[in-house]
A = this chain, B = another copy of it.
Amino acid sequence: MAGLCCNRAMSTNPPSPAKRHYLQADTLIRSTGARLTRPRVEVLAALLAAEQALSHHELEERIDRSVDIDRVTIYRVLDWLTAQGLAHRIAGDDRVRRFNAAGHAHEGAHAHFQCERCGTVLCLDEFSADPVVRLPRGFRPQHYELTVKGLCAGCGPSRRADTRTPAHRH
């Protein structure tokens, strides 16, 4: 598995369909010039593989199977990835931070969707916000973040209360 940090640990893993994300993570981490470590690769690969923004808990769940990485390390790796611009942090309404791989060219404007029922956070396409709001004198905008709140496809009004359990929470 192309230069994965600890060559012994990974050599026994069968080639998984998620392999691509590991390789991608590997390359991205190398490109920063910092050390290539197991936790970094695992966390970034998980983010790359995810179709939605992941909380710390969700990350723990998706990683633990093979290795087990300390909670704190995951926090630190996430901070590091964010600082490197490889991940992107979203402050949820529920005081939980969620992350996704910063694939999209998030220049200075992001948009997210957060489901009010199940909490899922999704990264939407960019939008242009600059002209829309007017700031007081002397205020300098740097980033724009649009959060759309509502119900996701799975939690929509068509299938109510019983057909779906509040997922991705707790």
Contacts and interface: CB of A to CB of B under 8 A. Distances in A.
Interface of A: 91-95, 97, 111, 113, 116, 122, 124-125, 127-129, 132-154, 156-157
B146 A141 contact: no
Nearest to A91: B93
Given A91-B92, A143-B150, 13 more contacts: A91-B91, A95-B97, A113-B135, A113-B139, A124-B135, A129-B132, A132-B146, A137-B153, A138-B153, A139-B151, A144-B147, A144-B148, A147-B147
Contacts of A94: 91
A109 B71 CA distance: 36
A161 to B, nearest CB: 16
